[in-house]
Structure 1
Amino acid sequence: MKRIALSLVLTVMAGSAFAETTVQSCDREVVFSEPPKAAVSNDVNLTEMMLALGLRDHMVGYTGISGWKTLDEEMREGVAEMPELSAKYPTKEVLIGADADFYFAGWNYGMKVGGEVTPETLEPFGIKVYELTESCIHIGEKPKVSMGDMYNDLINLGKIFGVEDAAYDLVAGYKAELDAFTSNLNAGEKPLRVFVYDSGEDKPFTAGRYAMPTALIEAAGGINVLDSFEKSWATVDWEAVVEADPEMVVIVNYGKVTAEQKRDFMKNNPALAEIDAVKNDRFVTLEYVEATPGPRNIKAVKKLANAFWGE
């Protein structure tokens, strides 16, 4: 919260001057002649990006949090004075009814390819959309995920809302914090083999090459055993996990099935009994807001590294 408070001060110092700006959003260029005044963000991690930049006064609400995740105290404080317009994905009518002029979302983070709410369907109503960088793989090609995806979103939001200096300072702070930590990281000679378990029993829903946990794992000195899986978040067969034999399992915690229940499922499934991580009871939990692009990614890297290599 200290960083958020600093960002608020920087936002005030930035003044009211705003020059027309163009940002790249996936495969589109979006032009802003003035900062949005009635923004809506979808999902907990995207909303935290807005708050970290001190943009609450530019927002009329948020969507897609309570229907999927439980707000922790830090997040609850940040959104205390804002309405949740929709518990899950918003409809077009919800955004129009809120007089929104900006929607910060992503593909499978508040929008679906071919769905009712897209940049194209909102454009006639004067609602501009900025898409989460990590999610762009769903509508085209993009490089493998990296910490730069999250940094890019913060910088672009800074440009959109006229707080570019604050955004650059925030990102510089994150980079310095991560560099200082990883430069002193006593990792193993070989990257630790890691599997990300999001959900599912018949088939696991997991993070592939383009999902944020891959970048977090690499920063912590590991390697996603499904690094060659040309997907973002998707399902695989358990056979692929057994064959990869991960040494550590990262459990993503959210929704009705708890992290402990997910761990117990893996521990008690005979088909998974010979996996190195299962045999040695090596599990670490990331909260959803830590595992998806957002301000808590640096904390997530530290948590993973401590689980991989010890405090």
Structure 2
Amino acid sequence: MHINTKNTTEHEALLRLWNSAHIQLSDMQHSLLIQQGTKMVSENASFIFLRCKDCAVQLGKMAFKVKGSALFHAGRGQVLNVPAAKYEVELYQASYQAQLAQSAGVALSSLLASGGPLDLTLHILPKQTAFFEQQFRIMQDEYSAKSALSVLKIKSCLYAVAELFFKELNLSSPVQLDSFEQARQYMQQHFREQISIQALAESLGISRSHLYNQFKAAIEQSPKEYLMSLRLKSACTQLIKGEQSLDQIAVNCGLGDKGYLSRVFKRYYNMSPGEYRQMNINKCSGFNLQFKEPSGKDTPLTIENFGRLHSFSSVPKRVVCLDYASAELCLALGAGDALVAVADADEMLADCKPEYGNYLEKISHLFAMSGYRNVPTLADIVAYKPELVIGTSYSFEAVSGVAEAAAFERRGIHIYAMTATCKLESSLEDTYLDIWNLARIFKKEERGKKLINKMQCSAEALKEQTKKISEPVRVFSFAGTIDGKPLSCGQSLENHLIELAGGKNIFSHCRQQLAIFDWETVARENPQVILVHRFSDKTEEQCLSFIMDIPLLRYTDAVRNRRIHAVGLKKIFPAIDNVKTAWYLAYLFHPCAFKNKYITDIKHSCI
């Protein structure tokens, strides 16, 4: 339930409950987000204080735009979602429980039993920001202390927050609703139904032209274009499953009938729904090359990548790579003549094979737009007139990357995002798929086959070796810090390489590619080996000494035994040397079992 008006019966009911019930803090959370998003949920009602320069916030089904600070009362079970933002976001969540005394009247008991007031979502732009922030900080500090006096301090702060919140609820302005995000979410939930853009804009209290401008500014698509993209994406998913007729799919996607579905599908993807259904899209657990001769000389090649279909009628003659790994892959396939520019993406040219590094050194380089966004601008890329831009999925994001994929496509530029960066539980199979897709795009299939087969043979040999290992070593991968806390890999390609090498990532259970943890948790897991990502602005010695100086890690097996190793950043992202990296990791994890000439030869190239 959401209310915008003040002095409503629901608001008063919540206030009555606070006046009569025993209120107790049940949980306290604090997060400082720097270029990171978060999702939080509490089974109890809570107060949420948020401070940021400019960010989007979703609470339950409501989307807000926060500039400065905001204070929310979140109902039970409401999910708070804060996407990654350009600026630092700090938030506190104080969850509470309410309990009535036995002497409470029937009306109040019924009120609490109904739970209605505790399910309210209320919001204000606080006038006394410093006071609220101070109360939440005290609650956070005292909640960690867990002393008898702390309980009293917490209760005092919680009641102080509630008192001023209810007072300002009648005086302060509500938090600004994000009409763009509200409209986008509505379309995502109801695209199967008939949607009037005019009616949607009116329901949000804005004009159709204003909604149009918001969509164009945010994602470079009109509301109508975005709605069609949702419907077609759903159609593609259902076509791949192959279980329903075209008429059924058209109805399920909000496209009426198969005739209209076929027309718009052909217009957007240059093929019919039936042709798309017949496409041989690899869904096997293991990668197997599918060698098919094109049906005709002028038949365009269609590649599915990053949730989009790309049709290539000719080989791209101008290509920009947003990292050295993808540029090196293009060179390995013999497509170096098409490369017009490359961005370093925090990697080092020295991480590439010498012959490739020498070649890349001579072509144009794109520089980062700022220290915060270590990517070039869209304008700088467009200036090279590329037909294809290759990079990680992170490059094709509006907040932390260059721009959304749609921004490139609007300019007639194809994009290719390395598959392992688009999903969880990625593996070498994803790297093989990228090599094969790009080999087909550049018409270098034979080179692609040889490269994949060589990597597969080497990976199989490594698996045979690691079968002899009785127990994997515990590994902590250190990717940097955010607000002093360690960033480490979860279910990413690096996790797969660690496992392939006979290791066990201590955070393999984390359902994210990268996540923030704390040093206490790392110490408790007691890693036997620590891998440190070496960025372009740090020497190997600086990377290793940083870990050695963390007091909490002093007694871990890795630090006591000096088993801390730097690994070039390019090596753990999708690249042609992923298998070599796995061999090198196996040598680091099990030096006695992997002491041979092959390891000696590749050791230097993986540092």
Give the TM interval when normalised to the shorter protein: 0.7 to 0.9
Return the alpha-carbon distance in structure 1 between the equivalents of residues 412 and 364 of structure 2. Answer: 21
Aligned residues: 286
Structure 1 residue 174, shift from structure 2 partner: 0.7
Give 1:126's match in structure 2, choosing from 400, 409, 412. 412
User: Is contact 1:204-1:238 (8 Å) kept?
Assistant: yes
Give me the CA root mean square deviation: 2.0
Structure 1 residue 190, shift from structure 2 partner: 1.5
Return the alpha-carbon distance in structure 2 between the equivalents of residues 18 and 226 of structure 1. Answer: 49
Using structure 1 for the length normalisation, give the TM-score: 0.85
* Pair 95,256 (structure 1): closer, same or farther in 2 beyond 3 Å: closer
- Aligned partner of 2:488 in structure 1 is 206
- Per-residue displacement from partner, 1:99-154 (whole Å, max 9, x unpaired)? 1111001222x3324565222001121111011112213xxxxx512111211111
Return the alpha-carbon distance in structure 2 between the equivalents of residues 189 and 300 of structure 1. Answer: 21
- Aligned partner of 2:537 in structure 1 is 256
Structure 1 residue 248, shift from structure 2 partner: 0.7
User: Is contact 1:187-1:309 (8 Å) kept?
Assistant: no
Whether 2:389 is the aligned partner of 1:103: answer yes
Structure 2 residue matching 1:79: 3-state secondary structure: helix
User: Is contact 2:474-2:527 (8 Å) kept?
Assistant: yes
Deviates more, 1:114-123 or 1:278-287: 114-123
The residue correspondences of 1:101-250 to structure 2 (distance < 5 A) are: 101-108=387-394, 110-114=395-399, 117-137=403-423, 143-185=424-466, 187-200=468-481, 202-210=484-492, 212-250=493-531
Structure 1 residue matching 2:426: 3-state secondary structure: coil
- Aligned partner of 1:56 in structure 2 is 336
In the alignment, residue 417 of structure 2 is paired with which amino acid? E
Return the alpha-carbon distance in structure 1 between the equivalents of residues 298 and 533 of structure 2. Answer: 40
Name stretches of at least 5 consecutive residues in structure 2 with no aligned partner: 1-296, 369-373, 596-607
- Per-residue displacement from partner, 1:185-239 (whole Å, max 9, x unpaired)? 47531211111012227111221112x2111111111111110111112322222
Return the alpha-carbon distance in structure 2 between the equivalents of residues 221 and 79 of structure 1. Answer: 34
Return the alpha-carbon distance in structure 2 between the equivalents of residues 301 and 281 of structure 1. Answer: 20
Name stretches of at least 5 consecutive residues in structure 1 with no aligned partner: 1-16, 138-142
Deviates more, 1:194-203 or 1:49-58: 194-203
Whether 2:543 is the aligned partner of 1:267: answer no
Whether 2:308 is the aligned partner of 1:23: answer no
Structure 1 residue 21, shift from structure 2 partner: 1.4
Structure 1 residue 32, shift from structure 2 partner: 1.2
Return the alpha-carbon distance in structure 2 between the equivalents of residues 285 and 299 of structure 1. Answer: 15
Return the alpha-carbon distance in structure 1 between the equivalents of residues 512 and 532 of structure 2. Answer: 18
Return the alpha-carbon distance in structure 1 between the equivalents of residues 342 and 402 of structure 2. Answer: 18
Structure 1 residue 78, shift from structure 2 partner: 2.7
- Aligned partner of 1:82 in structure 2 is 363
Give 2:348's match in structure 1, choosing from 64, 70, 74. 70
Return the alpha-carbon distance in structure 2 between the equivalents of residues 76 and 166 of structure 1. Answer: 19
Structure 1 residue 18, shift from structure 2 partner: 7.0
Structure 1 residue 69, shift from structure 2 partner: 3.1
* Pair 135,92 (structure 1): closer, same or farther in 2 beyond 3 Å: same
In the alignment, residue 70 of structure 1 is paired with which amino acid? M
- Per-residue displacement from partner, 1:235-278 (whole Å, max 9, x unpaired)? 22222212221111111112323332232222232211222211
Using structure 2 for the length normalisation, give the TM-score: 0.45
* Pair 229,60 (structure 1): closer, same or farther in 2 beyond 3 Å: same
Give 1:35's match in structure 2, choosing from 315, 331, 339. 315
Return the alpha-carbon distance in structure 1 between the equivalents of residues 433 and 359 of structure 2. Answer: 22
Structure with greater Cα Rg: 2
- Per-residue displacement from partner, 1:274-297 (whole Å, max 9, x unpaired)? 222112211222111212110121
Identity of aligned residues (%): 26
Deviates more, 1:268-277 or 1:82-91: 82-91
Structure 1 residue matching 2:358: 3-state secondary structure: helix
